[in-house]
C-alpha cells in the first residue's frame, strides 16, 4: 500500500530538444503540473494517468509494475505540499515524509524522482486518456 502511494504520487506525481533538462523549484513545479493531465511510466514498469490539483490533492489511475489490474486512486487535499524548494507528501502509515525532485525534460514533460533516490523515478508526459469518474444524475425538479 505504501509503495502504491509513493508511486501514485511520483506518479499521480515531455519532448523538444530546444529545452535543456532543468530542476524545477516548488513554485515552478506547481505552475507546470497543477491541473494538467499527465500519463506516466515509472522505472519499475508502473504506468497510469493522473492529475495533481492546485489544492495538493491528486487523482488518477495506476497499474503497478505493468502487471496488476489498473486501479483508480484519489489522494486528499494537502497530500502534496511545498516545503522550501521541494514538493513533499504526507502519506498515512509511512514512517518518513517523501519529497520529490522534478526535472523538466521538455515543454510538455518532466521526470519526478524521490529526493535522494534518483533511481526511483517516473517520467510524465502531458496528455493521456481522461480519467473516468462516477457520475450521478441530478434529481428531477418539478
Buried b (16+ CB within 10 A) or exposed e, 28-48: ebbebbeeebbbbbbeeebbb
- Where do the domains of the chain lie, and which CATH numbers do they carry? 2-126 (2.40.128)
pTM confidence score? 0.74
Mean pLDDT of the region 60-68: 92
- The string of pLDDT tens digits covering residues 96-121 is 899 999 999 999 999 999 998 888 89
Amino acid at each position: 500500500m505504501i509503495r502504491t502511494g509513493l508511486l501514485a504520487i511520483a506518479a499521480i506525481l515531455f519532448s523538444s530538444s530546444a529545452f535543456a533538462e532543468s530542476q524545477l523549484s516548488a513554485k515552478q513545479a506547481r505552475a507546470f503540473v497543477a491541473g494538467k493531465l499527465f500519463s506516466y511510466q515509472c522505472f519499475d514498469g508502473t504506468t497510469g494517468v493522473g492529475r495533481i490539483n492546485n489544492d495538493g490533492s491528486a487523482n488518477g489511475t495506476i497499474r503497478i509494475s505493468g502487471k496488476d489490474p489498473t486501479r483508480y486512486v484519489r489522494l486528499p487535499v494537502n497530500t502534496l505540499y511545498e516545503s522550501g524548494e521541494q514538493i513533499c507528501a504526507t502519506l498515512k502509515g509511512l514512517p518518513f515524509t517523501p519529497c520529490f525532485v522534478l526535472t523538466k525534460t521538455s515543454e510538455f514533460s518532466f521526470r519526478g524522482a524521490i529526493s535522494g533516490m534518483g533511481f526511483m523515478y517516473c517520467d510524465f508526459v502531458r496528455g493521456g486518456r481522461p480519467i473516468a469518474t462516477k457520475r450521478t444524475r441530478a434529481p428531477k425538479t418539478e
